Amino acid sequence: MLATYAEDTIAAISTPVGEGGIGIIRLSGQRALPIAAELFAGSRKRTFLTVPNFSLQHGYIVHPETHKMLDEVLVSVMRSPYSYTREDVVEINCHGGLLALQHVLEAVLSRGARLATPGEFTKRAFLNGRIDLSQAESVIDVIRAKTDAGLQLAVQQLQGKLSTQVNHLRNQLAQLLASVEASIDFADEDIEIISHVQIDEQLQHTLVAIDQLLAGAQEGKILRDGLSLAIVGKPNVGKSSLLNVFLQEERAIVTPIPGTTRDTIEDVLNLNGIPIRLIDTAGLRDTSDEVERLGVERSRRAIQQADMVLCIFDGSAPWSHEDENFLNVVAHKEKFFILNKIDLPAQLTTDDIQAQLHESMPIFRVSLTEQIGIDALKQAIVNKVMSVPLESVAVTNVRHKQALTLAKTSLLHARQSTCAAMSPEFIALDLRDALNHLGEITGETTTDDILDRIFSTFCIGK
C-alpha cells in the first residue's frame, strides 16, 4: 500500500460543504507541489517549487488551459516529512463558495491528482508512521465530539494516551513470550529460563493492567457517544410525563388511560454537557392488544440496548405483579429507581420498594405534575456518568474494548496452562494471541479490511 501511495497524489475539499469565509483544498503526495505550481500565479513572482516550508503564499489559481483566473487564494506548503501525512502537502485556501472550490478542485484533478477517498489523508498518516491506529481513530472523535469531556478524551487519545499504555503492555508480554520460547528452545538443557510461578506472576500483573483499562470503558463510551436512557415501568406510572419534564415540552401524549404509549418515543437533551438520548417505552405488561404487544416487544429491545434505565413506580398504587415483572426485565442493567406521584395519598413507599430489591439502592421521590424532586434526579444521573475521573479513562472505542477483552481471554487461558504446569508451547500460543489482539488497537496487527472499515467512516478531505 505504501508503495502505491508513493506514486499518486490525492486531493479533496477539506472544509464543510456550504458558504463560508474560507474553503480549503488539500493535496498530498509526490506531485502535490508540481501540480500547485502549474496552477498558482503568485503575486510575488517567485518560483513556487522553492518557496520556504510552512510558508503562506498569496496569488491566484489560473486554469492551465483557458488561463482564466479561478480564485484569489493563499497557498500553504508543508514538505515531507513535516506534514500531516508525512508526504508533501499543499493546502489551497480559497473563498468559501462551493462553485469556486469545485472549479479549483477540478483544475487540480486535471493535472494528475485523483480524488481522495474518505479518511485517506489520515490513513496515509497512519501508513507512513506519523500516528498509530488508535490515534487515527481519535481524529474523527475530535471532529464529532458532543461534549467538552468527550473532546478532552479524544485529544488525549490523539496525543497517544492509550497507545502508550498498550505499547507498554505489549512490551511486557513480548519479553515474557521471549522467555517462554527460550525455555522451549533450551528444553534439553538443565537450565530453568523461567518458572511457572514467575510466568503466572507476570500474567497476573498484565491482567490487572488490562482490567484497569476496561474499568473505565463504559464511561468512556458514554462521554464519547452520549448516554442512552430508557424510561421503564408498568402502564400509567408517569413514563411519558418524565420524558416531557426532562425535555420541557409536550413530546409524548399523556392521559390517565393505561397503554397510551404504544411505541418507543425518543428525543435528545443536553444534561450538564452530557448528550442524553431519552427513550420513553410502552408500559411493560401482558396484553391481548396486538398493537400494544408489538410496542411492548420493541420496548424490551430498547431496554436491552440502553446504557441505563429509569425505573418508575406509582406511589398512589400498591405493589403489583407488573412492578415485579419489569424489575426482572431490567435486573442486569444500570438503573435508577423513582417513586412518582408523591403528591397523592401514598399506597406504595420507598420501604415497600426496597423490600422487593436484592440490593440497597437510592430511590428518588418525585412528583412529575408538581415538578418536585426533578433536579436531584438529574444531578444523580450526571454524577453517575461522571463518577470516573477523566484522567483515568483511556478506552472510549468499542473496537478497543473488544480487543482488550480478547487479549484478557487469551491471558486467562495462558494462566490456566501455567497453573496446570502444561508444556510452554501452549502458554506461548496464548501469549501470541494476546499480543496480536493488543496490536489490533494500535494497528500493529490490523488487516486491510479493518483499516478500510475504520477510515470509511471519515469525511472526505480528512
Consult the annotation and say whether 80 binds a ligand. no
Consult the annotation and say whether 258 binds a ligand. yes
Consult the annotation and say whether 443 binds a ligand. no
Consult the annotation and say whether 396 binds a ligand. no
Consult the annotation and say whether 341 binds a ligand. no
Consult the annotation and say whether 86 binds a ligand. no
Consult the annotation and say whether 383 binds a ligand. no
* Cβ neighbours of 267 (radius 10 Å): 16
Consult the annotation and say whether 93 binds a ligand. no
Consult the annotation and say whether 239 binds a ligand. yes
| Grid cell locating 46 | 517567485
Consult the annotation and say whether 280 binds a ligand. yes
Per-residue three-class SS string for the chain: CHHHHHHCCEEEECCCCCCCCEEEEEEECCCHHHHHHHHEEECCCCCHHHCCCCCEEEEEEECCCCCCEEEEEEEEEECCCCCCCCCCEEEEEEECCHHHHHHHHHHHHHCCCEECCCCHHHHHHHHCCCCCHHHHHHHHHHHHCCCHHHHHHHHHHHCCHHHHHHHHHHHHHHHHHHHHHHHHHCCCCCCCCCCHHHHHHHHHHHHHHHHHHHHCHHHHHHHHHCEEEEEECCCCCCHHHHHHHHHCCCCCCCCCCCCCCCCCEEEEEEECCEEEEEEECCCCCCCCCHHHHHHHHHHHHHHHHCCEEEEEEECCCCCCHHHHHHHHHCCCCEEEEEEECCCCCCCCCHHHHHHHCCCCCCEEECECCCCECHHHHHHHHHHHHCCCCHHHCCCCCHHHHHHHHHHHHHHHHHHHHHHCCCCHHHHHHHHHHHHHHHHHHHCCCCCHHHHHHHHCCCCCCC
Consult the annotation and say whether 130 binds a ligand. yes
| Grid cell locating 175 | 519479553
Consult the annotation and say whether 462 binds a ligand. yes
| Residue 317: closest CA among 231, 230, 232, 235 | 235
Consult the annotation and say whether 42 binds a ligand. no
Consult the annotation and say whether 256 binds a ligand. yes
Residue in this structure with the C-alpha cell 413514563, named with its chain if needed: 239
Consult the annotation and say whether 362 binds a ligand. no
Consult the annotation and say whether 433 binds a ligand. no
Cα separation, 97 vs 80, whole angstroms:
30
Consult the annotation and say whether 83 binds a ligand. no
Annotated binding site for GTP: 236-241, 255-261, 280-283
Annotated binding site: 26, 91, 130, 236-241, 255-261, 280-283, 462
Annotated binding site for (6S)-5-formyl-5,6,7,8-tetrahydrofolate: 26, 91, 130, 462
Annotated binding site for Mg(2+): 240, 261
Annotated binding site for K(+): 236, 255, 257, 260
